[in-house]
């Protein structure tokens, strides 16, 4: 019987590698073959790094033969295209950086390399990570492998779609307001946003520096724990990275969650959300209760409705400052046919950035300008403090909070592109977490059965559940999520692409 590589977890593949049943080179070739098969339909990858992957796989085989292997050794992975990879184009899915080849690796990439990981490519995203559907990519649109006419979510849509479609065992994404969790929910994979400061941002192209975090997208919670262990930890090259001990996450995964307290904030079950999403998530919470967790079904976090507005001041403000560096002089796209330096700079930005990025720069520049600064930026920061305090109070009583990841199942490509506000609303449940710097995980929690079953995706469209934790309590989240996955098999369902 042939092994279906595209369905294995990291753990399973790693034991095959260690028992000698397959080699890392064979596993990598199988992955590259899968990429060739599904990419014409999914369009998740900006770059395939075949040559580099095969040479890393040869190195991994030598490590395995020498008995020096780690569970990630020889396992094919993908990296979101806003995370720098030495010698490999890192575009941020923007025309501005279309030909940018970083001279260094991001810390997370370096750490995966130290474990003998195999990088098979870079994933598509919303331009500069601004978006919730990957439709803002200046390169191409990615399709959801569960229904090719729908979005995979965003901004790490390429990472989520590729993991769901079996193009690699795991992927790294980045999350500023939901960009790991929302696409994970939309593609039926597991996605974790770590506590702010847990994972180094060195080499992550900055969007909103006080909110950005890198994290894993995987096929299950065990794999998520493995990848987080590899990438987490203090880094002197990121001044916001926190010198806090990194637990060995896989060893935290005991299936017993009896006695843990979980709160269900009522503000996350809002009017206008899809009924099937609510039903599935409520059923999933009942499952947690059955597994022994103490669930309080009606908790209130009254400032929640202000999070989205605060985010759309804070994130664009920081973006407007971070993106000032793209002037056509230092690196990236450069408009050459100009009469003066100022014209060259203007034209570079006019032609190099897409419409959503320009909208954010304008919003942010406005919010930071003299006269408006106090009314907008300072006020948003005050709301941020209130939200943080509110979460602190909740976490004095609960080990975790549970919510839907998104108010809807994956929407149709093109459905929200003309309405930025509707698009922004896809992240109402994920944004408060970034505002407060907390860790959160999205795991598969069911499928919307009432929606028309789409071609080949017989089960319908995926629904994600979000667990939010105390700062640095990723271990608690992984434990609860793992217990849920031991008792259910939503996460084992894969789309037929
Ligand atoms: N969708 C949100 C935005 O557009 C979040 C993006 C992200 O997390 N990178 O800003």
The pLDDT tens digits for 261-295 are: 999 999 999 888 999 999 999 999 999 999 999 99
Task: Give the integer Cα–Cα distance in Å for 476 and 495.
Answer: 29
Please name the residue whose Cα sits nearest to atom 4 of ligand 1: 131
The answer to whether the beta carbons of residues 223 and 170 sit under 8 Å apart is yes
Residue 178 has pLDDT above 80, yes or no: yes
Whole-number average pLDDT of the chain: 95
**For residue 390, how far is its CA from the centre of ligand 1 (angstroms)?**
22
Ligand 1, pocket residues at CB < 6 Å = 129-132, 155, 175-179, 207, 315, 427
Helix (H) or strand (E) holding 120: strand 118-123
For residue range 350-394, list pLDDT tens digits in order: 999 999 999 999 999 999 999 999 999 999 999 999 999 999 999
Residue 393 has a CB neighbour count (10 Å cut-off) of 11
Assess contact for 221 and 485: CB atoms under 8 A: yes
**Ligand 1 mean position to 178 CA, how many Å?**
6
- Greater confidence (453 vs 339) lies with 339
Q: How far is the CA of 309 from the centre of ligand 1 (A)?
A: 13
Q: Pocket of ligand 1, candidates 152, 155, 422: which has the most ligand atoms within 8 Å of its Cβ, to mutate?
A: 155
Question: Residue 391's closest CA among 442, 441, 431, 444?
Answer: 431
Mutate to test the pocket of ligand 1, among 127, 130, 433 (most ligand atoms within 8 A of CB): 130
Q: In whole angstroms, what is the distance from residue 251 CA to residue 351 CA?
A: 50
Position in ligand 1 atom list of the atom nearest CA 179: 8
Q: Which atom of ligand 1 is nearest to the CA of 427?
A: 1
**From ligand 1's centre to the CA of 480, what distance in Å?**
26
- pLDDT at 450 (0 to 100): 53
**Architecture of the 1-497 domain:** Alpha-Beta Complex (3.90)
Residues with a known catalytic role = 80, 155, 179
Q: Are 191 and 183 a contacting pair, CB within 8 Å? A: yes
Ligand 1 pocket test, candidate residues 80, 131, 364, most atoms within 8 A of CB: 131
Q: 406-464 pLDDT, tens per residue?
A: 999 999 999 999 999 889 989 999 999 999 999 999 999 999 975 554 433 345 899 99
pLDDT exceeds cutoff 80 at 104: yes
Q: Counting beta carbons within 10 angstroms of the beta carbon of residue 453, is it exposed (0 to 12), middle (13 to 18) or buried (19 or more)?
A: middle
Which residue minimizes the CA distance to atom 10 of ligand 1? 130
Q: CB–CB of 410/183 below 8 Å?
A: no
Instruction: Tell me which residue of 299, 264, 260 sits closest to 481, measured CA to CA.
Output: 260
């Amino acid at each position: 019987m042939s092994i279906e590589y595209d369905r294995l977890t990291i753990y399973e593949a790693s034991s095959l590698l260690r028992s000698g049943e397959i080699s890392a080179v064979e596993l990598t070739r199988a992955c590259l073959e899968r990429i060739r098969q599904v990419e014409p339909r999914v369009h998740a990858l900006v770059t395939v790094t075949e040559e580099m992957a095969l040479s890393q796989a040869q190195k991994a085989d030598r490590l395995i033969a020498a008995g020096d292997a780690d569970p990630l050794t020889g396992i094919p992975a993908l990296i979101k295209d806003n995370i720098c990879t030495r010698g490999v184009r890192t575009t941020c899915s923007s025309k501005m950086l279309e030909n940018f080849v970083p001279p260094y690796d991001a810390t997370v990439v370096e750490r995966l390399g130290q474990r003998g990981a195999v990088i098979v490519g870079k994933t598509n995203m919303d331009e500069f990570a601004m978006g919730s559907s990957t439709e803002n990519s200046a390169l191409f649109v990615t399709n959801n492998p569960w229904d090719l006419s729908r979005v995979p979510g965003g901004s790490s849509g390429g990472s989520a779609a590729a993991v769901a479609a079996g193009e690699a065992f795991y992927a790294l994404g980045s999350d500023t307001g939901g960009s790991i969790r929302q696409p994970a929910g939309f593609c039926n994979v597991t996605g974790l946003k770590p506590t702010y400061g847990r994972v180094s941002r060195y080499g992550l192209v900055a969007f909103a520096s006080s909110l950005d975090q890198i994290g894993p997208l995987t096929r299950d919670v065990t794999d998520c724990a493995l990848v987080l262990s590899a990438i987490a930890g203090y880094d002197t090259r990121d001044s916001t990275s926190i010198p806090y001990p990194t637990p060995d996450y896989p060893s935290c995964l005991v299936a017993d969650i009896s006695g843990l307290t979980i709160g269900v904030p009522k503000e996350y079950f809002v009017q206008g959300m899809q009924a099937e999403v609510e039903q599935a998530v409520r059923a999933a919470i009942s499952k947690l209760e059955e597994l022994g967790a103490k669930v309080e079904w009606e908790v209130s976090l009254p400032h929640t409705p202000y999070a989205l507005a605060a985010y759309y001041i804070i994130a664009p403000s920081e973006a407007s400052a971070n993106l000032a560096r793209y002037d056509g002089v230092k690196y990236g796209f450069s408009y050459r046919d100009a009469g003066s330096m100022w014209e060259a700079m203007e034209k570079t930005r006019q032609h190099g950035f897409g419409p959503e990025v320009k909208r954010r720069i304008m919003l942010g520049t406005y919010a930071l300008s003299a006269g408006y600064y106090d009314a907008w930026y300072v006020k948003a920061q005050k709301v941020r403090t209130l939200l943080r305090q509110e979460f602190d109070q909740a976490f004095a009583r609960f080990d975790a909070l549970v919510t839907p990841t998104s108010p809807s199942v994956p929407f149709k490509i093109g459905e929200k592109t003309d309405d930025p506000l509707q698009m922004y609303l896809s992240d109402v449940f994920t944004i408060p977490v970034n505002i407060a710097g907390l860790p959160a995980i999205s795991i598969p929690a069911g499928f919307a059965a009432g929606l028309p079953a789409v071609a080949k995706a017989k089960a319908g469209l995926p629904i994600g559940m979000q667990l939010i934790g105390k700062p640095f309590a990723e271990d608690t989240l992984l434990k609860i999520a793992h217990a849920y996955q031991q008792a259910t098999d939503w996460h084992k369902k894969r789309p037929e692409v």
